[in-house]
Amino acid sequence: MFDAVGGLPVGAIVGDFLEFLSPSNLAGVLVDGIAKAAVFALIAVGLTLIFGLMGVLNFAHGSFTIVGAYVAGLAMVLIVSTGDGIVTRVALFFVAVVVAFAAVAALGGVIETKLIRPLYDRPPLYQILLTFGLTLVIDEVVRMVVDFYGLQPRSAWQEALGTRPDWFRENHEYFGLTVEGMDLFEIFLGVVVIGAVWLFLTRTRYGLFIRAGSEDAEMAEALGVDVRRVFTVVFGIGAGLTGVAGALLMWDPGWGASVTVGAEALLPAFVVVIVGGLGTFKGTVVAALVVGLADATMTWWFQNVLVTMSWLPEVVVFAILVGVLIVKPRGLYGVQEVGGH
């Protein structure tokens, strides 16, 4: 029915496209894309909060992910026993999430108070160099600790990964659609955390302080808001949310707790934040959906039609970044000026 045009097998291309549009394949790509979007949003939301209020481009963000992954993994290895069922393990995972959030938030608060605060009156380059240096220090400290206990720093911590319930490892069929249990859990956790952050920013007194500080820090301070304390709290919360993302990555076999997960998480975080618009919460969520769905779509095409190379979908993600910057240099929802100081 279809002839080759210019040497291209049009019939094969149309057939592959129709196969992609089949309800089962399309729904599978949609679920996979939303799961990836949930992970990307969790990784990027802390970076967005910190930059949106403080104007600090935190290059140590990926290192916070490493710390969260290992802290949560350690908690799970210590408290999970072989006979625990799915409900018990999920409940213990949320305990580990709280521990990771608290540990990384405390680390972030100390870093903001002792290291970043003295640099607020200096050019942004000082903060970039500081956070980049922190990345090197934190990564190396974690590497030494991991090596000391006989673990492989560049590969996923299998003992922590083994605390996942079997249900998360299996495929499940709902309404004729086969989905992996881990994808469903990632979507659930992403919706819960992003929803909680949104409620915190829009429905709490401290959220009002944060939004006021991001709009005009001097005016907020004149009205009695302790902007310095708000900066510390926001940096701590942003770092803590990164720890939560690290806890989730610890359970995801595509990521896992390792020293390299920091760099792997930092790249999509920056892509999502830049595509959405630096410092905008709404932009981060929308960009995470765009990037996640694009990644899942291109992964299906490369694995089933074109050529199987794991890095090719990432190239498409960066192509989205380039395209958005050309059309809208400030991102999808970016504003002219961000940062409260």
Chain segment 98-110, per-residue pLDDT in tens: 999 999 999 999 9
Pick the residue with more confidence: 99 or 254?
A: 99
Pick the residue with more confidence: 302 or 268?
A: 268
Structural domain count, the chain: 1
Token pair of 37 as six digits: 């979007």
In a domain, 50, yes or no: yes
Domain of residue 89, residue span: 30-266
| Dihedral of alpha carbons 210, 215, 218, 223, sign | negative
Chain segment 148-189, per-residue pLDDT in tens: 888 888 888 999 999 999 899 888 887 777 788 999 999 999
Which alpha helices (DSSP H) does the chain contain, by range?
Answer: 10-20, 23-54, 61-79, 86-111, 124-148, 158-161, 166-169, 181-203, 205-215, 217-222, 227-251, 261-276, 281-304, 312-327
In a domain, 38, yes or no: yes
Our measurement of the distance from residue 212's CA atom to the centroid of its chain's CA atoms, rounded to an integer in Å, reads: 25
In a domain, 15, yes or no: no
Q: Give the per-residue pLDDT at 310.
A: 56
In the structure, what pLDDT confidence band is assigned to residue 5 with cuts at 50, 70 and 90?
Answer: very low
Which of 2-6, 92-96, 193-197, 259-263 is predicted least confidently? 2-6
DSSP letter (8 states) at residue 151: -
Amino acid at 26: L
Amino acid at 231: F
In a domain, 70, yes or no: yes
Distances (CA, A) of 136 to 66, 76, 107, 260: 12, 27, 15, 12
Chain segment 76-92, per-residue pLDDT in tens: 999 987 777 899 999 99
In a domain, 110, yes or no: yes
Q: Give the per-residue pLDDT at 105.
A: 97
Percent of the chain with pLDDT strictly greater than 70: 89
In the structure, what pLDDT confidence band is assigned to residue 335 with cuts at 50, 70 and 90?
Answer: low
Q: Give the per-residue pLDDT at 223.
A: 78
In a domain, 179, yes or no: yes
Pick left, alpha or beta for residue 331 (phi over 0 → left; psi -120 to 50 → alpha; otherwise beta).
Answer: left
